[in-house]
């Protein structure tokens, strides 16, 4: 039975039993604590935990999932995979254990002719929690299972909770006995490896409220007022059982890639364990890459992008280790598309974009491999020569940061050559780099208030009456003043002048930051008081929280006030957001439909938009995009918004943003009808002419297969163009050249400058040669070691190093030390260079440099033969040279 057919039967089975069929959510999880959707229940967590009311009592889905914790085990075992599909059925306060067991049994053992999966009832075993007599009795009564095939296991195997206070409960797992050839008899309790008794379905019975505690040690506080069902059936596991193959890599949705990879490599699957591992890595990772790019993820160096990059690069490198030197993804990705598109038709219609991202990543990695492998071999050779078969964190970081060599590839290659890597040191250096890069990032916009405080407010008062689309001013009442501190669950009774706090109102006209649009600015005014609105967020769905600075009076719960949005701020924000839609439509018109938006940010006067595209835009393309966008502005297209169901919006042709989670009812914003039609919850102008001037200000890369355009909008757009005009005017006056001749004039000046710099470089080289001879001839003897010191003026660190090496070369094979210092621009450059004979005498360039660096207030380092550094005190140069020579004299004396 094909995987797509199993999927269809599952959904139809539960749809016929009153379940709403819910489409798979994106692999990009809406939960900020997760990179990806890791389980079928993730999209339903708000309903299962009671944070939000469920829109249906029963639901069923086949959810796309990605887990990467065991990525190194993929291919080595027959059960580890990164992408998988989880069939699930859910009940929100409706049926419970008996219903879940009945539905599962009917599907698993139902005849194929009647829509079932046709498993032999005699091969089915189940497990239940130790004291769950209710589930055990239901299995015996409904399925007729004998007691020996209903096994009771402990909390580790058959109890579910989130790990935090909240819903919890026992679970029951369904196993299929594959036969004695796969292991001993005795059921799942005996077969802990799971080779013979394979779990295919887990039924979770959420019936208790658990308290705080670690691991398995937590109290049960009582039963839930509404009991829920959450189940998960592994689609790939069921597929390989029903298809009569040995593992998930051999099912119909994965095996075609494995077979094509084997053909390209000229190997036979099943003949060689090492080759089989690599083929399984390729088959799994190519499919996972296809699905992730399909859901809008692009390769990068952080988060989801890094995981995707790692998957694609592991697949490419596995093919290279199999002997395939040519690009392999163009051969493999279409095979995976064909295997998966029966279940996910969008993969076929969107394949041009998906493949362009994947192929560009492979090409970039092939270049990295070509250069990085040679560098890696050099570093490993040096480590072995030094007698330390390990790479330091600094060496691994240099390979990554300077040469783009991924750490996971370094680790794998090192393991293959029996070399260890200081991974902890590498991670520490990476974290230091990230910390520096994020030093000026914004603080988390939700503040430090425990979300539980907001949830209690929502439960007590209901959702905020949000009127941002209808008005800019409301008469409101303060429901709560919420402190930024976590004490007392964030509740505070009053905020006075100068304090910054968060306020929840019963109704508000303020737009809360979302969809790339920043929050509104404005004021709250009340009898005797006034507060400035700094930020607006939705800490939990349905509730709006305003971060405010109290300017006058005291703000407390129960106060009646007026909430008013800054009109100019809102207009400018609307211009930027509508401008983002216009630029997106212009991109697609100029570049083609594959230039899909993958992210955006807009604030008054500014917008940026990320989109899928390979390579930088040409000057002509940038001009065309700007022209198309401004033509739409001048046309004054009507801007309209309408509500409809998500399927209706998709049929209507509305574009959805990758990675966004949409409700059943969505808002479609149109500019000029079908010219721009997108799902959007932001605020917009009434007609496109209101956007005003739109000027592209920048275009750059934000990762492989992704570009970013930036633009100034409205009054800021006009100001940007005015500044550009003034700049051209000033340059023309400075160079005494009309504006239309500036390019040629500046080009001529740059050409002359390059020629002058070339002449200066040749002159410096001549001077360096002369200086090297003079310095070498003035060497002094220190205990049989020739010592050269000197202070040539005006040399950079690079030029000084070149001179020092030249001097060292003139000193021949004798023991010799060269120490030079140079002052340039108020800074000091230092270089120490030793001949091999000097090193054999026990001397080190590092020691000499360290001694010389102190008098000039500097530091530095390097290797035993050459070390380099700098300082900040040019007046200390004579003392530095003397200190270096003294260090040589001391070392020679100690070694004699």
pLDDT value at position 797? 85
Which runs of E-coded beta strand occur in 557-637?
Answer: 560-565, 597-603, 606-612
Is the CB of residue 732 less than 8 Å from the CB of residue 724?
Answer: no
The residue-averaged pLDDT of 314-338 equals 93
For residue 237, is it left (φ>0), alpha (ψ between -120 and 50) or beta? alpha
pLDDT over 70 at 443, yes or no: no
User: Which range of residues forms the domain containing residue 375?
Assistant: 254-438
**Half-sphere exposure for 867 (CA within 13 Å, toward CB):** 25
Does the residue 744 lie in any domain?
no
pLDDT value at position 485? 37
Does the residue 156 lie in any domain?
yes
Does the residue 753 lie in any domain?
no
User: What CATH number is given to the structural domain containing 663?
Assistant: 3.30.980.10
Contacts for 133 with CB less than 8 Å, ≥ 6 apart: none
Do residue 715 and residue 771 come from a single domain?
Answer: no
pLDDT value at position 520? 95
Do residue 718 and residue 814 come from a single domain?
Answer: no
Do residue 653 and residue 621 come from a single domain?
Answer: yes
Task: Kindly indicate the confidence band of residue 501, based on its pLDDT and cuts at 50, 70 and 90.
Answer: very high
> Is 273 annotated as ligand-binding?
no
> Per residue in 513-525, pLDDT tens?
988 899 999 999 9
Is the CB of residue 59 less than 8 Å from the CB of residue 19?
Answer: yes
> What share of the chain in percent tops pLDDT 70?
94
The residue-averaged pLDDT of 558-565 equals 95
Do residue 335 and residue 279 come from a single domain?
Answer: yes
pLDDT value at position 487? 41
- Which has more confidence, 33 or 171? 171
β-bridge partners, 74? 77
Least confident interval from 154-158, 172-176, 408-412: 408-412
> Per residue in 706-731, pLDDT tens?
889 999 999 999 999 999 999 999 99
pLDDT value at position 380? 79
pLDDT value at position 491? 47
Does the residue 594 lie in any domain?
yes
Question: Hey, how many other C-beta atoms are within 10 angstroms of the C-beta on 195?
Answer: 14
Do residue 531 and residue 587 come from a single domain?
Answer: no
pLDDT value at position 78? 67
> Per residue in 725-776, pLDDT tens?
999 999 999 999 998 899 999 999 999 999 998 888 778 767 766 788 889 9
Estimate the crossing angle of helix 303-321 against helix 407-416, to 10 degrees. Answer: 30
- Which has more confidence, 117 or 593? 117
Residue labelled with tokens 């077969």: 191
Do residue 43 and residue 114 come from a single domain?
Answer: yes
pLDDT value at position 454? 83
Q: Which of 331, 285, 325 is nearest to 309 (CA)?
A: 285
Is the CB of residue 467 less than 8 Å from the CB of residue 515?
Answer: no
Do residue 237 and residue 302 come from a single domain?
Answer: no
Tokens (6 digits) for 711: 């633009």
> What share of the chain in percent tops pLDDT 90?
61
> Is 171 annotated as ligand-binding?
no
pLDDT value at position 377? 78
pLDDT value at position 434? 61
Do residue 702 and residue 827 come from a single domain?
Answer: no
pLDDT value at position 441? 36
Do residue 473 and residue 415 come from a single domain?
Answer: no
- Which has more confidence, 563 or 540? 563
Task: Kindly indicate the confidence band of residue 475, based on its pLDDT and cuts at 50, 70 and 90.
Answer: very high
Is the CB of residue 661 less than 8 Å from the CB of residue 30?
Answer: yes
Is the CB of residue 234 less than 8 Å from the CB of residue 7?
Answer: no
User: What CATH number is given to the structural domain containing 156?
Assistant: 3.30.930.10
pLDDT over 70 at 867, yes or no: yes
Do residue 417 and residue 277 come from a single domain?
Answer: yes
Number of domains within the chain: 5
pLDDT value at position 435? 63
Do residue 205 and residue 63 come from a single domain?
Answer: yes
pLDDT value at position 445? 38
Does the residue 749 lie in any domain?
no
Is the CB of residue 204 less than 8 Å from the CB of residue 157?
Answer: no
**Distance in angstroms (rounded) separating the CA atoms of residues 607 and 576:** 6
> Rounded mean pLDDT of the chain?
88
Angle at 238 between CA 235 and CA 244, to 5 degrees: 135
> Per residue in 3-62, pLDDT tens?
999 999 999 999 999 999 999 988 987 665 678 888 888 888 888 877 788 889 999 999
Do residue 275 and residue 422 come from a single domain?
Answer: yes
Does the residue 135 lie in any domain?
yes
The residue-averaged pLDDT of 842-860 equals 91
pLDDT value at position 489? 44
pLDDT over 60 at 253, yes or no: yes
> Per residue in 640-655, pLDDT tens?
999 998 878 878 888 8
pLDDT value at position 660? 60
Does the residue 35 lie in any domain?
yes
Residue labelled with tokens 């005190």: 873
> Per residue in 392-442, pLDDT tens?
888 878 777 665 666 777 887 787 777 888 888 888 887 776 665 444 333
pLDDT value at position 488? 45
pLDDT over 50 at 291, yes or no: yes
- Final residue belonging to a domain, choices 438, 467, 498: 438
> CA of 201: how far to CAs of 88, 92, 176, 561, in Å?
9, 19, 10, 55
User: What CATH number is given to the structural domain containing 479?
Assistant: 2.40.30.130
- Final residue belonging to a domain, choices 438, 470, 505: 438
pLDDT value at position 603? 94
> Is 684 annotated as ligand-binding?
yes
Burial call 795-832: b when 16+ CB within 10 Å, e when fewer: bebebbbbbbebbbeebeeebbbbbbbbbeeebbbbbb
**Distance in angstroms (rounded) separating the CA atoms of residues 887 and 892:** 9
pLDDT value at position 458? 84
Task: Kindly indicate the confidence band of residue 217, based on its pLDDT and cuts at 50, 70 and 90.
Answer: confident
> Is 577 annotated as ligand-binding?
yes
Does the residue 738 lie in any domain?
no
Instruction: Supply the Cα-derived Rg of the chain in whole angstroms.
Output: 34
């Amino acid at each position: 039975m094909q995987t797509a057919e199993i999927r269809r039967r599952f959904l139809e089975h539960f749809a016929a039993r009153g379940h709403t069929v819910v489409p798979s959510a994106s692999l990009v999880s809406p939960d900020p604590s997760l990179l990806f959707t890791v389980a079928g229940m993730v999209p339903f967590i708000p309903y299962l935990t009671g944070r939000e009311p469920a829109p249906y009592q029963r639901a069923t889905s086949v959810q796309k999932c990605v887990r990467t914790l065991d990525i190194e085990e993929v291919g080595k075992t027959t059960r580890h995979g990164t992408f998988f599909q989880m069939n699930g059925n859910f009940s929100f306060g409706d049926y419970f254990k008996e219903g879940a067991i009945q539905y599962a049994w009917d599907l698993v053992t139902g005849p194929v002719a009647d829509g079932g999966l046709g498993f032999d009832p005699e091969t089915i075993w189940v497990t239940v929690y130790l004291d769950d007599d209710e589930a055990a009795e239901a299995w015996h009564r409904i399925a007729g299972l004998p007691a020996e095939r209903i096994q009771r296991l402990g909390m580790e195997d058959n109890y579910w909770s989130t790990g935090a206070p909240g819903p919890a409960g026992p679970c029951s797992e369904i196993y299929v006995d594959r036969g004695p050839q796969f292991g001993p008899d005795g059921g799942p309790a005996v077969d802990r490896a799971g080779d013979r008794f394979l779990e295919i379905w887990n039924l979770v019975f959420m019936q208790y409220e658990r308290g705080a505690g670690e691991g398995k040690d937590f109290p049960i506080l009582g039963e839930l007022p509404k009991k829920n069902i959450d189940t998960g059936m592994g689609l790939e596991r069921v597929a390989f059982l029903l298809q009569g193959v040995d593992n998930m890599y051999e099912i119909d949705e994965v095996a075609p890639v494995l077979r094509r990879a084997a053909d390209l490599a000229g190997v036979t699957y099943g003949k060689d364990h090492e080759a089989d591992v690599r083929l399984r890595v390729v088959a799994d990772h190519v499919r996972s890459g296809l699905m992730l790019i399909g859901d809008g993820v692009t390769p990068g160096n952080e988060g989801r992008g890094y995981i995707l990059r790692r998957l694609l690069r592991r697949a490419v490198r596995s093919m290279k280790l199999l002997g395939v030197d040519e690009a392999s993804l163009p051969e493999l990705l279409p095979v995976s598309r064909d295997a998966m598109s029966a279940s996910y038709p969008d993969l076929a219609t969107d394949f041009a974009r998906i493949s362009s991202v994947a192929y560009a990543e492979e090409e970039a990695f092939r270049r990295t491999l070509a250069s990085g492998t040679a560098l890696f071999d050099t570093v490993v050779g040096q480590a072995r020569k030094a007698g330390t078969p390990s790479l330091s964190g600094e060496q691994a970081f240099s390979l990554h940061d300077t040469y783009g060599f991924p750490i996971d590839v370094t680790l794998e290659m090192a393991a293959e050559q029996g070399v260890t890597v200081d991974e902890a040191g590498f991670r520490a250096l990476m974290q230091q780099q990230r910390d520096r890069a994020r030093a000026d990032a914004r603080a988390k916009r939700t503040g430090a208030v425990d979300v539980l405080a907001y949830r209690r407010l929502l439960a007590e008062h209901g959702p905020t009456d949000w009127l941002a689309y209808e008005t800019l001013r409301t008469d409101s009442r303060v429901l709560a003043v919420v402190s930024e501190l976590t004490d007392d669950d964030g509740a505070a009774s009053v905020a006075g002048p100068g304090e910054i706090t968060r306020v929840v109102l019963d109704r508000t006209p303020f737009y809360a930051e979302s969809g790339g649009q920043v929050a509104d600015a404005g004021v709250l005014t009340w009898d005797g008081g006034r507060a400035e609105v700094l930020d607006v967020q939705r800490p939990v769905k349905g509730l709006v929280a305003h971060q405010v600075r109290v300017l006058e009076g005291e703000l407390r719960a129960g106060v009646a006030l007026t909430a008013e949005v800054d009109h100019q701020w809102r207009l400018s924000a609307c211009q930027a957001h509508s401008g983002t839609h216009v630029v997106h439509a212009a991109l697609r018109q100029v570049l083609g439909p594959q230039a899909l938006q993958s992210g955006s940010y807009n604030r008054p006067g500014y917008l940026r938009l990320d989109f899928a595209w390979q390579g930088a835009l040409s000057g002509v393309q940038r001009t065309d995009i700007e022209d198309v966008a401004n033509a739409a502005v001048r046309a004054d297209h009507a801007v309209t918004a309408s509500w409809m169901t998500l399927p209706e919006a998709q049929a209507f042709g509305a574009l959805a943003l990758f990675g966004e989670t949409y409700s059943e009812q969505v808002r479609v914003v149109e500019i000029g009808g079908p010219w721009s039609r997108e799902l959007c919850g932001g605020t917009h102008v009434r007609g496109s002419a209101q956007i005003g001037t739109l000027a592209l200000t920048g275009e750059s890369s934000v990762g492989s297969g992704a570009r970013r355009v930036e633009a100034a909008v409205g009054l800021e757009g006009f100001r940007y163009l005015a500044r550009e005009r003034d700049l051209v005017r000033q340059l023309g006056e400075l160079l005494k050249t009309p504006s239309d001749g500036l390019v040629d004039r500046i080009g001529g000046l740059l050409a002359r400058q390059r020629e002058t710099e070339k002449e200066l470089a040749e002159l410096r080289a001549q001077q360096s040669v002369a200086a090297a001879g003079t310095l070498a001839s003035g060497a002094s003897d220190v205990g049989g070691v020739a010592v050269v010191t000197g202070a040539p003026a005006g040399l950079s660190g690079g030029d000084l190093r070149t001179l020092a090496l030249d001097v060292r070369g003139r000193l021949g094979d004798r023991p010799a030390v060269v120490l030079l210092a140079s002052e340039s621009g108020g800074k000091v450059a230092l270089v120490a260079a030793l001949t091999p004979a000097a090193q054999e005498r026990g001397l080190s360039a590092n020691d000499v440099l360290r001694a010389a660096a102190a008098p000039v207030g500097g530091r530095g380092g390097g290797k035993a033969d050459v070390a380099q550094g700098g300082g900040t005190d040019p007046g200390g140069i004579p003392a530095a040279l003397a200190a270096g020579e003294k260090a040589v004299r001391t070392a020679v004396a100690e070694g004699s």
